[in-house]
């Protein structure tokens, strides 16, 4: 009788071993799926932020919002990135836009805005 009982136990263990291996595989699959969902949510949030940034940056009616939100954010990002890029790697032969060009662009935008406002009034 002792031999039959031990054979039954070994048979039961042999039947459970593939089931336990499948359970471990299923657990690993669930962990992988959860990681994929988190990465997908982060990517979608970044896409949403990029679309909103493009909307604010490209729409001329939102010039005040761009000046209040986008410009400081870009300056902050550039300050953070400039820590990692040494000044010796910057190209010295590239001429950066001057303040006069920026001022001229701002004047053009304000002229267009005032023209639109005057055409809407009349």
pLDDT at 4: 64
In a domain, 7, yes or no: no
CB atoms within 10 A of CB 69: 15
Residue with tokens 């336990």: 20
In a domain, 3, yes or no: no
In a domain, 1, yes or no: no
pLDDT at 99: 60
Structure tokens at 76: 């902050």
pLDDT at 67: 76
In a domain, 49, yes or no: yes
In a domain, 107, yes or no: yes
31-76 pLDDT, tens digit per residue, is 999 999 999 999 999 999 888 878 777 877 877 777 777 777 777 8
Regarding predicted confidence, which is higher, 112 or 34?
Answer: 34
CB 66 within 8 A of CB 56: yes
> How many domains are contained in the chain?
1
Distance of CA 28 to the CA centre of its chain: 27
- The pLDDT confidence band at residue 110, using thresholds 50, 70 and 90, is confident
Which segment, 22-26, 65-69, 99-103, is predicted with the most confidence on average?
A: 22-26
In a domain, 45, yes or no: yes
CB atoms within 10 A of CB 34: 10
Regarding predicted confidence, which is higher, 80 or 39?
Answer: 39
Structure tokens at 62: 């939102």
**Residue range(s) defining the domain that contains residue 49:** 12-121
In a domain, 57, yes or no: yes
In a domain, 33, yes or no: yes
Position 89 pLDDT exceeds 60: no
Please give the share of the chain, as a percent, with pLDDT higher than 90: 16
Nearest-angstrom CA–CA distance, 91 and 88: 8
Global confidence as pTM: 0.46
């Amino acid at each position: 009788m002792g031999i039959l009982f031990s054979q039954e136990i070994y048979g039961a263990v042999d039947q459970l071993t593939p089931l336990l291996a499948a359970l471990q595989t299923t657990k690993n699959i669930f962990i992988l799926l959860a990681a994929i969902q988190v990465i997908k949510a982060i990517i979608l949030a970044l896409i949403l932020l990029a679309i909103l940034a493009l909307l604010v940056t490209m729409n001329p009616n939102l010039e005040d919002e761009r000046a209040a939100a986008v410009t400081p954010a870009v300056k902050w990002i550039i300050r953070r990135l400039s820590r990692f890029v040494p000044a010796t790697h910057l190209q010295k032969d590239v001429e950066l836009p001057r303040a006069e060009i920026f001022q001229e662009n701002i004047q053009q935008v304000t002229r267009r805005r005032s023209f639109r406002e005057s055409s809407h009034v009349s």
